[in-house]
Structures are given as structure tokens and as C-alpha cells.
Amino acid sequence: MTAFGVRDGQDAEDLDVEEALALVNHGNSSPGPAGDSAVRPDGDRSPASAAAHGEDRGGRNGDDRAGRPGAGHGGASGSRDAQGHTSSRHRATATPWAEARTIAGRAARSTAARRTPVSVSLVDALGLVLAAPLTALTDLPSFDTSAMDGWAVAGPGPWAVRDEDVLAGHAQPAPLADGEAARIATGARIPPDTTAVLRSEHGRIDEKGRLHPTGESRHGQDIRPRGQECRSGEQLLPTGAVVTPAVLGLAAAAGYDTLAAVPRPRVEVLVLGDELLTEGRPHDGLIRDALGPMLPPWLRGLGAEVVALRRLGDDAEALYRALTTSGADLIITTGGTASGPVDHVHPTLSRVGAELLVDGVQVRPGHPMLLARLQDGRHLVGLPGNPLAAVSGLVTLAEPLLRTLAARPAPEPYTLPLKEAVHGHPHDTRLVPAVLRGDHAVPLHYNGPAMLRGIAAADALAVVPPGGARAGQETELLDLPWAAAGIDACFT
């Protein structure tokens, strides 16, 4: 199997389902730009539509489709399984989608518990999780301060105004005598014996230089007393809080230069496949590598530190050396998860004594994804080679595992009604790119396993249950990293 092969463990029937649904979902009755089949106007099913409804159209081994150029990852070769049994093993061992996510989330618990917290500067802490409570190192504010520009006054007016102003960042000013005022800036220390701050717009200076109130001036007005927000030693945030920009501001205000945090999970990406180009246009059976540019920033969006991206080609020995020498917490491979002659992931995992935790998932696209635990406790997620199938593997297996390693909280599940119906796989969950429009989710075209056009425009993935979802049906949504609140900064 080449890294980005369109077949990568999916037989011809499965592929037809995905290709057909891209247009069937939107009620089209003619082939689309990707060669999709659709429901015929007379209601009879085309071969692809028959496959979508679980009917055997023949040719299950895919020998008339495997290796077809111009598909998968912009045009990749197929699984090259000469026996045509790539799918049968995955069908027998595939895990239900929700269960696969649960397994991935739990897989790294023991590893996460052994990870040592790190001390990081505020500059480097964004997106991490606190490994200790954030406790105030000082009162906030640490002295009485002015909440407004105006005058600090003592007693009732009118007031005689001192010559010197009270400015922020200066030492404590001299006390005010009764009937005295001093011009003061926001954030400046309040002079002793001040009774209130009169705002600039609420005062008037007469010709003799005396200050008269033109608005309300009550005792304690616009003075922020010491410790108003917190007292020294008070817990501001608990262990496990995600460090957002606001948390950085609070930590700085409370006196911190560094934070104790859970370190980012270290991830190494191994790109497999001899047919991949890193620049220029596809030619002579070679195709562009789309996953190499896409995966590292996506993984950083999930809170990971990508320590390396290596292109290994279809080389079993290179893959073995990479698995046995990597120091990453998580290794991610692209493609090679089927059982063709150059699909080396399964044999190499067996060679290194890995334990398969998930071997295929009941989800479309992305059915042949896998999760393995290596003997030293590290993990490997094997992504299918098709681009959208690889995205499916990221959100199904990589995201829950990385979340556990980073000690980040699980996002709150939410649903929205679908703007239009989405046909489903007879047995498997489908993940369909969608945009969020008001109180609805709109499914997108170009949602086949080899396509990135839909996901590039999407805000979320709609989790479509087996059998499909009707228009208006409440459907679970998975936010994409760049659309999820508080995650955007992880890309930097």
C-alpha cells in the first residue's frame, strides 16, 4: 500500500459508497466532477447507490479499481492487495466509532500519569494545562488605586488643588489634608486619607484654582481597594485549567513569571509512500503529498509538539528503525495500514511487539485506521492515506489520545439540526464536513475520502449515524481546531 493510496483498506464497494454519497446527499441525479454516481431519476439505484444500501454489486475485491491513477490524495495508487482481502480483515476487527474514541482517550492514562510537569515561561505556556493551582502571589490590586482619571479628594468640596499630580508607577504620594485634592491618573496609588476619586467629567476648576463637584462624589467612589480581586495565597484557578490568553494576563498580574504545566505531547509524523512529491505538479504517476503540510499544524492545534516529520517511502526497514528509535510520545503514520505488498505498518507493529488496541473503525471515511501501544508504553496512530480519511483518523484516534496526554478537558458535546439530509453508510458512522450557519449545520459537498475541498471550507465534522440523518435532525458536531474557542493560538 502506498501512503496515500485511494484504496488503503477500502474495497471497491466501500469506495463507491463514499464517492456516490458526495452528490447523493445533495439530491443530484447526474455524475459530478469527481465521477460520483447518484440515484437515478426513475428511482432505480445506480451501482454505487446499490452499494450504499448494502447491495452486492460484485467486484468486491476492487481489482477493476485498485491502482487507478488520479484518485486518493490528489491521485494515488491503490492498496495493491493482490488477494483482494484488504477489507475483510478490517470488517472482522473494526471497532464502533464512539468506542474507538473512548479506547483512544483511555489508552494513554497510565502514560499521562507518569509525565513530569514542566516550568514554562508565560510566553510558552499558551494552550498548556496547569499542573498546579494558580495561587495569588500578592494582593490584587496590591495597593489602593484609582479606577479613573480625575482628582483624589479628601472630605467635602470645594477643594484646594495641589500642584503636583499623582501618576501611575510612582511611589506613594503624600497624604491629603481635609479639603485638599490632587489630580490623579488611572492606576495611580491613592494618597493616604483620600475619601474618593472625583472623575474628570464631574469636576470644575474655578478662577481661584479651587475644585468644585459637578457630579456625584460619594465616599470611596472610584477607588479600587487593596485585595479587591484577591488576597495573597488565594487560589485563582485549579489544576487542570487550560492556559488561555486571559489566564496569562491573570498569572502576570498575580506575580508569575513561569507556570507549572503539563508538557505538550511530543509527536513524530512518518509519511509513507514512494509516489509522493514535495513540490510541483503531479506527473508520471507521482502525486503531491498533502498530508505532510497538513498534519503538523493540525497536531499543533490539538496541543501537540511536532518534533519531526520524516518521509520514509515504502521502506519496511526504515519504518522499523523509525519506530524503534523515536523518542516521541505518539508516532503517526500516513497510509500503509492495509495488507498490500508494500503496506508495512501491520507487519512492522508485529515485529516490534506492539499491541493493537484498535484495528479498523466502523467509520467512513477512514475505516482502516489503527491504534497500537508499543512495548515501552508509547503509542502509534496509523492514519489511512486518503486525505479526508486521515482527518477522520485524527479526530477519532489522535485527538482523544493527545487530549489525555496533555490533560486537557474533553470538549462539551453539542448538536445542531442539519440543514439538509445526509445519506449514511448502512453500518458505519460517517464524518461529513459542515459549516455552521446560525442554528443549523450545512453539510458540504466534496466529502469523499480522497477530497480536501470540503474540509478546507468546514467549521466542523457532522457525526452522521448509520443509516443517515434527515433534514432538521439534531446531529453531533465535532469542532475543527481552528474553529474551536481557545484553540486557535495553539497553531503559533
Residue 20 and residue 87 share a domain: yes
- 7, part of any domain: no
Residue 460 and residue 438 share a domain: yes
Strand spans (E) along 225-265: 235-237, 258-262
Residue 309 and residue 419 share a domain: no
Residue 427 and residue 318 share a domain: no
Distance CA 137, CA 230 (A): 10
Distance CA 353, CA 370 (A): 15
Tens of pLDDT, residue by residue, the chain (492 residues): 333 333 333 333 344 334 433 333 443 333 333 333 333 333 333 333 333 333 222 222 222 223 333 333 333 333 333 333 344 555 667 999 999 999 999 999 988 888 999 999 999 999 999 999 999 999 999 999 999 999 999 999 899 999 999 999 998 899 999 999 999 999 999 999 999 999 999 999 998 889 999 877 789 999 999 999 999 999 999 999 999 999 999 999 999 999 999 999 999 999 987 666 566 787 877 777 888 889 999 999 999 999 999 988 888 899 999 999 999 999 999 988 887 788 899 999 999 999 999 999 999 999 999 999 999 999 999 999 999 999 999 999 999 999 999 999 998 999 999 999 999 999 999 999 999 999 999 999 899 998 999 999 999 999 999 999 999 999 999 999 887 644 444 444
pLDDT (tens digit, 9 = 90+) per residue, 324-345?
999 999 999 998 888 778 889 9
Give 222's contacts (C-beta < 8 A, 6+ positions apart).
146, 147, 148, 150, 196, 197, 198, 199
Say which CATH number the domain at 250 has.
Answer: 3.90.105.10
Do the Cβ atoms of 14 and 364 come closer than 8 Å? yes
- 385, part of any domain: yes
Residue 444 and residue 396 share a domain: no
Residue 215 and residue 167 share a domain: yes
- 3, part of any domain: no
Neighbouring C-beta atoms of residue 84, cutoff 10 Å: 16
The answer to pTM > 0.85 is no
DSSP H or E segment with residue 379: strand 379-383
Q: What's the confidence (pLDDT) of residue 487?
A: 42
CA distances from 235 to 125, 139, 142, 418 (A): 19, 12, 16, 43
- 82, part of any domain: yes
Q: What's the confidence (pLDDT) of residue 313?
A: 83
Say which CATH number the domain at 200 has.
Answer: 2.170.190.11
CA nearest 77: which of 469, 444, 341?
A: 341
Do the Cβ atoms of 270 and 312 come closer than 8 Å? yes
Say which CATH number the domain at 384 has.
Answer: 3.40.980.10
Say which CATH number the domain at 463 has.
Answer: 2.40.340.10
- 363, part of any domain: yes
Tally the domains of the chain: 4
Residue 51 and residue 102 share a domain: yes
| Residue 426: cis peptide before it, omega within 30 degrees of 0 | no
Q: What's the confidence (pLDDT) of residue 20?
A: 37
Residue 317 and residue 184 share a domain: no
Residue 242 and residue 201 share a domain: no
- 72, part of any domain: yes
The domain boundary residue, chosen from 224, 246, 280:
224
Residue 460 structural domain: 414-491
354 torsion bin: left (phi>0), alpha (psi -120 to 50), beta (else): beta
Residue 392 and residue 318 share a domain: yes
Residue 284 and residue 363 share a domain: yes
- 473, part of any domain: yes
The domain boundary residue, chosen from 262, 284, 316:
262
Residue 26 and residue 101 share a domain: yes
Residue type, 318: A
Residue 353, C-alpha cell as written in the block: 511487539
